[in-house]
């Protein structure tokens, strides 16, 4: 078995931005003399030499890049194969599938990365300004890519009516979570003099204000989801022949978590406007809305009117729990900063992650169902707990035992995750390739390589 080794990864390891002074980066190497989890103490001579020798900049946390790369590849696979294998595609409503873990994994990874990016903050105002700028750029990029500006890969057209542009999306939600959690890390953490100790109590005490923010967000989400009254509502749909059809959805309920009468959709319709929501919601694959369920298909006779209504899975209220996912990732990152032994890190990752997993399944068992579109509390617990355990496993294989060559492709994708997401997951690359054709648009590169025409 490969020899285990450990590195105290510095602030710029994977977080980017706000890199610390290189002379502040520590190179805390732990050998495996006493087993995989052991840490040997350097001799006095080695300590003296280290004190007089310039310390190198720390290396990246390879396991985090690998985790990010695996998530990107998983996203591409479920998007491309999910139509052929419904079992791995997004769940039509309640329940989770493989595809439903992708987005929470991204949020979790963002939280871990923020720990490194803001490990040392000399100027809080400047750090806040940089975080706002970065989040704004990411939000605008998401608006461009997922707002409807780019059309089908088979249409050599682009543009969107701003009256109907989709305002929320994957990158927009990540931007909101990133900014909120970055502000928490910049402004809401204990003093560097706080003693963390060797157990989790010191860690909880230092970051108690961040944990309180997560609690407030969770309580707010739960209270609004189950406490808000959802009245009857109406909407109009323009069919392909430009006929305007009017629909009414009968609700008059409180605490409903079905597709048509939940508080998540109501808040989005009132705040964002129904014309700015996602027009192909996943509940179109439910039995009520598709004769081919769990695949998309024609509406069955007597289908509920809400089947033809827009609904945004990245809406406003559900984004509160997305922020909580990112906050949990931030706390997982704090373990890396404050605990240097592999064993301590694995333990303090595994205990909360396993606890979240158990709590999530218990909530689902007692009626708070797993639901990605609503980003339910049980869904948050299960997906975030899974992310923590998965990250611990990758860390053990990659950063402890050094199995890096086998996962190098995933590490490379993880280092270039945004560009891969833009080009592949958002279909920008296929759209560009489709624009290169011979005489007729049907004779394009996509058709030549067998993807389509």
Look at residue 22 and tell me whether its pLDDT is greater than 70. no
* Angle between helix 208-227 and helix 263-271 axes, rounded to 10 deg: 90
pLDDT at 52: 34
Look at residue 30 and tell me whether its pLDDT is greater than 70. no
Check: CB of residue 225 under 8 Å from CB of residue 373.
Answer: no
pLDDT at 58: 53
238 or 123: which leads in pLDDT: 123
pLDDT at 34: 32
pLDDT at 366: 96
Look at residue 284 and tell me whether its pLDDT is greater than 80. yes
Check: CB of residue 55 under 8 Å from CB of residue 26.
Answer: yes
How far apart CA 358 and CA 380 sit, in angstroms, is 12
- Residue 337's φ and ψ, nearest 5 degrees, are -70, -40
Nearest Cα neighbor of 387 from 173, 59, 70 is: 70
For 223-226, the CB contacts below 8 A with 24+ separation are 224/263, 224/267, 224/317, 225/255, 225/257, 225/262, 225/263, 225/264, 225/317, 225/374, 225/376, 226/254, 226/255, 226/263
Look at residue 409 and tell me whether its pLDDT is greater than 90. yes
Sort residue 39 into left (φ over 0), alpha (ψ -120 to 50) or beta: beta
How long, in residues, is the chain?
Answer: 453
DSSP 8-state class, residue 166: -
How far apart CA 261 and CA 251 sit, in angstroms, is 6
How far apart CA 65 and CA 109 sit, in angstroms, is 9
Decide: helix, strand or coil at residue 340.
coil
- Residue 302's φ and ψ, nearest 5 degrees, are 75, 20
- How far is C-alpha 427 from the geometric centre of its chain's CA atoms? 19
The owner of tokens 């579109």 is 373
> pTM of the predicted model, to two decimals?
0.85
Look at 20-24, 381-385, 431-435 and tell me which has the smallest mean pLDDT: 20-24
Q: What is the dihedral of CA 300, 303, 306, 310, to 10 degrees?
A: 10
Residues in contact with 91: Cβ distance below 8 Å, sequence separation at least 6, in sequence order? 97, 99, 100, 282, 370, 371, 372
Q: What digits encode the pLDDT tens for the residues 316-367?
A: 999 999 999 999 999 999 999 999 899 999 999 999 999 999 999 999 999 9
Nearest Cα neighbor of 247 from 287, 290, 306, 288 is: 306
Check: CB of residue 113 under 8 Å from CB of residue 16.
Answer: yes
Question: Residue 284 is encoded by which pair of tokens?
Answer: 């179109």
pLDDT band at residue 8 using 50, 70 and 90 as cut-offs? very low
């Amino acid at each position: 078995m490969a020899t285990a080794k450990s590195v105290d990864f510095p602030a710029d390891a994977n977080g980017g931005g706000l890199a610390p002074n290189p002379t502040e980066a520590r190179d805390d190497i732990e050998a495996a003399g006493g087993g995989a989890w052991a840490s040997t103490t350097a001799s006095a001579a080695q300590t003296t030499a280290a004190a007089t020798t310039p310390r190198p900049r720390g290396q990246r946390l390879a396991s985090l890049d690998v985790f990010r790369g695996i998530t990107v590849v998983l996203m591409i696979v479920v998007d491309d194969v999910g139509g052929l294998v419904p079992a791995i595609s997004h769940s039509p409503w309640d329940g989770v599938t493989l595809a439903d873990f992708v987005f929470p994994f991204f949020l979790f990874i963002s939280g871990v990365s923020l720990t490194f990016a803001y490990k040392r903050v000399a100027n809080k105002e400047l750090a806040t300004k940089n975080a706002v700028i970065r989040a704004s750029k990411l939000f605008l990029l998401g608006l461009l890519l997922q707002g409807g500006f780019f059309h089908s890969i088979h249409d050599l057209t682009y543009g969107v009516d701003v009256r109907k542009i989709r305002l929320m999306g994957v990158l927009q939600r990540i931007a909101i979570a990133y900014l909120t959690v970055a502000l928490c890390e910049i402004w809401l953490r204990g003093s560097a003099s706080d003693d963390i100790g060797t157990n989790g109590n010191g860690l909880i005490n230092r970051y108690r204000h961040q944990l309180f923010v997560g609690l407030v967000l969770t309580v707010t989400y739960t209270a609004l989801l189950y406490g808000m009254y959802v009245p009857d509502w109406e909407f109009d749909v323009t069919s392909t022949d430009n006929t305007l059809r009017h629909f009414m959805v009968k609700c008059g309920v409180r605490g409903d978590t079905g597709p048509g009468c939940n508080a998540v959709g109501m808040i989005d319709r009132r705040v964002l406007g129904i014309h700015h929501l996602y027009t192909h919601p996943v509940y179109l694959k439910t039995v009520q809305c598709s004769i081919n369920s769990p695949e998309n298909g024609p509406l069955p006779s007597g289908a509920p009117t809400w089947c033809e209504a827009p609904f945004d899975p990245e809406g406003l209220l559900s984004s509160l729990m997305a922020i909580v996912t990112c906050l949990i990732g931030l706390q997982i990152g704090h373990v890396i900063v404050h605990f240097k032994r592999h064993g301590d890190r694995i333990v303090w990752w595994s205990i909360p992650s396993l606890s979240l997993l158990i709590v999530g399944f218990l909530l689902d068992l007692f009626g708070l169902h797993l639901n990605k579109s609503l980003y339910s509390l049980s869904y948050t617990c299960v997906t975030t707990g899974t992310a923590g355990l998965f990250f611990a496993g990758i860390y053990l294989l990659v950063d402890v035992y050094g199995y890096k060559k086998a996962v190098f492709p995933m590490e490379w994708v993880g280092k270039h995750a945004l560009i891969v997401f833009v080009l592949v997951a958002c279909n920008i690359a296929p759209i560009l390739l489709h624009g290169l054709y011979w005489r007729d648009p049907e004779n394009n590169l996509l058709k030549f390589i067998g993807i389509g025409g």
